[in-house]
Amino acid sequence: VSKAVILVGGPGKGTRFRPLSLDIPKPLFPIAGLPLVQHHIESCASIETIKEILLIGFFQPTEQLNRFVREMKDEYKLNIRYLQEYSLLGTAGSIYLFRDLILTSGTEAFFLIFCDIFCDLRGILSNMIAFREKWMNYLVMGVQVENEQSMNYGCMGVNPQTNEVVHYIEKPSSFVSNHINGGVYLLSTEVFDDISKIFQERVGTGNDSISLESDILSKQAGQGKVFAFMNEAFWMSIKSAGSAVYASRIMMEMYKKYHPNRLSTDANCDGNVYIHPSAKVHPSAKLGPHVSIGSNVVVEEGARVKNSIILDGVIIKKHACVLSSIVGWHSTVGSWTRVEGTPTQLHPDRPHATTDNFYLFDDNGKLLPTITILGRDTITPDETIIRNAIILPGKELHGMKLGLQNQILL
């Protein structure tokens, strides 16, 4: 397997990731200090046979995106390209559009990876190569989740003897199976024949989006072509902004195994902490566990940060306390102010629970407890309490001595 395709979506996608995706394409959002999709690229680069990575998306190739691709090429010494669709063509439509580029140099099979899933990808990719037999036209990485969460994903009926996917239903309205599609595929190039048939049927209908899941897998399941590679290890999807904090936590734990030098060894850090080299953290501030600090951040004396992502250019003033939150680019947290969210807690007796909360509100329209998110350029006054809140970019919270709880501030 010499190629990997990573689908990065585009504007219009990533809506569940707001307000953070208003400022940066979700694939570039930092997880444990590095852009989300860099973790996927790094995992692909660790597979010796992979020589080329194609990122497909509907984002305009901005200077930021082009610079990122150049940096990735230099860093991993691979042929990495960003390919832009003319509209969101769906998970199958997008690879079909660029099939000529995928098929060059005699590709027989390739990886297709969604950028919004998180797991120990490098281990999984090599295990999938070892597991796959040539006749397994479609090999899907499957994971087990809690029954009530399964309906947010593609559900698969898997024959435990043969690993064949005998039924596939994308986001069913009632419970089908807790084996779900984990968003990593090893596909033989015959997939383009199957997509081509759907493409021909759609010509002239004005609908040029084709879904690998709803249009292809649901039809091909049970025909001896679709197989599941069940991943028993950790997996999560990153749909909501709050899930980024948990993803960062998991990634920093993986740094221990693959990149221990990325974790801080400073005396005032407790547990896994990533600090960008340009950040200035006062020695009397205490960070961690599960904290990542972006570039040019200033953390003043006596401040406390735990289980949070602090984005570039933020100032955390003296004795402020930030717990289970994401503080957006260039925001200021006032001194003695407390910004606190509700951490994502995985139940120890429920090993298959995933972290993503798909719903912001309960049945009565009340905001569910969540990670607190301060959008870009938020200025919070001194001595305020902000709890379980989501604040859209650019807010100056004047005269809010009483603080803000369980609210979305538009």
User: Which of 217, 297, 321, 371 forms a contact with ligand GTP (CB under 6 A)?
Assistant: 321
Binding residues for ligand GDD restricted to 137-176, rule: CB under 6 A: 153-154, 170
**Tokens (6 digits) for 43:** 């995992």
Q: Which stretch binds ligand GTP (CB under 6 A): 41-49, 117-125, 319-327, 383-391?
A: 319-327
Name which of 95 and 321 has its Cβ closer to ligand GDD: 95
State how far the Cα of 140 lies from the Cα of 155, in Å rounded to an integer: 11
State how far the Cα of 235 lies from the Cα of 342, in Å rounded to an integer: 21
Q: Where are the beta strands (DSSP E) in 86-238?
A: 109-114, 117-119, 138-144, 154-158, 165-170, 179-188, 226-230, 235-237
Answer yes or no: are the C-beta atoms of 54 and 3 closer than 8 Å: yes
Residue 52 touches which of ligand GTP, ligand GDD, none (CB < 5 to 8 A by kind)?
Answer: none
Name which of 172 and 302 has its Cβ closer to ligand GTP: 302
Residues in the chain: 410
State how far the Cα of 354 lies from the Cα of 193, in Å rounded to an integer: 35
Closest contact distance (angstroms) between CB of 263 and ligand GTP is 19
Answer yes or no: are the C-beta atoms of 82 and 6 closer than 8 Å: no
User: Which of 40, 338, 376, 395 forms a contact with ligand GTP (CB under 6 A)?
Assistant: 338
Closest contact distance (angstroms) between CB of 69 and ligand GDD is 15
Closest contact distance (angstroms) between CB of 332 and ligand GDD is 32
Handedness of CA 161, 167, 171, 177 (dihedral sign): negative
State how far the Cα of 270 lies from the Cα of 202, in Å rounded to an integer: 56
Answer yes or no: are the C-beta atoms of 339 and 374 closer than 8 Å: yes
String of contacts with ligand GDD for each residue 174-193, x by CB under 6 A? ------xxxx----------
Pick from 139, 136, 168: which is nearest to 231 by CA? 139
Query: Where do runs of H (alpha helix) occur along 46-189?
Result: 63-76, 90-97, 99-103, 121-131, 147-150
Interface with ligand GTP (CB under 6 A), residue total 7
**Radius of gyration for the chain, computed over Cα atoms and rounded to the nearest angstrom:** 22
Pick from 47, 46, 61, 79: which is nearest to 8 by CA? 61
Answer yes or no: are the C-beta atoms of 82 and 61 closer than 8 Å: yes
Q: How far is CA 163 from CA 120, 158, 331, in A?
A: 21, 6, 50
Residue 338 touches which of ligand GTP, ligand GDD, none (CB < 5 to 8 A by kind)?
Answer: ligand GTP
179 binds ligand GTP, rule: CB under 6 A: no
Name which of 11 and 302 has its Cβ closer to ligand GDD: 11
304 binds ligand GTP, rule: CB under 6 A: yes
116 binds ligand GDD, rule: CB under 6 A: yes
How many CB atoms neighbour CB 224 within 10 A?
13
Quick one: how far is CA 280 from the chain centroid?
28
343 binds ligand GDD, rule: CB under 6 A: no
Query: N- to C-terminal Cα distance for the chain?
Result: 47
Name which of 16 and 319 has its Cβ closer to ligand GTP: 319
90 binds ligand GDD, rule: CB under 6 A: yes
DSSP state letter for 343? P
| 154-158 and 165-170 strand pairing | antiparallel
118 binds ligand GDD, rule: CB under 6 A: no
Residue 57 touches which of ligand GDD, ligand GTP, none (CB < 5 to 8 A by kind)?
Answer: ligand GDD
Binding residues for ligand GDD restricted to 7-26, rule: CB under 6 A: 7-9, 13
323 binds ligand GTP, rule: CB under 6 A: yes
114 binds ligand GDD, rule: CB under 6 A: yes
56 binds ligand GDD, rule: CB under 6 A: yes
DSSP state letter for 257? H
Closest contact distance (angstroms) between CB of 357 and ligand GTP is 19
Q: Which stretch binds ligand GDD (CB under 6 A): 102-110, 115-123, 263-271, 339-347?
A: 115-123
3 binds ligand GTP, rule: CB under 6 A: no
Name which of 199 and 336 has its Cβ closer to ligand GDD: 199
Binding residues for ligand GTP restricted to 273-302, rule: CB under 6 A: 302
191 binds ligand GTP, rule: CB under 6 A: no
Binding stretches for ligand GTP (CB under 6 A): 302, 304, 306, 319, 321, 323, 338
Residue numbers at the binding site for ligand GDD (CB under 6 A): 7-9, 13, 56-58, 85, 88-91, 94, 114-117, 153-154, 170, 180-183, 213, 237
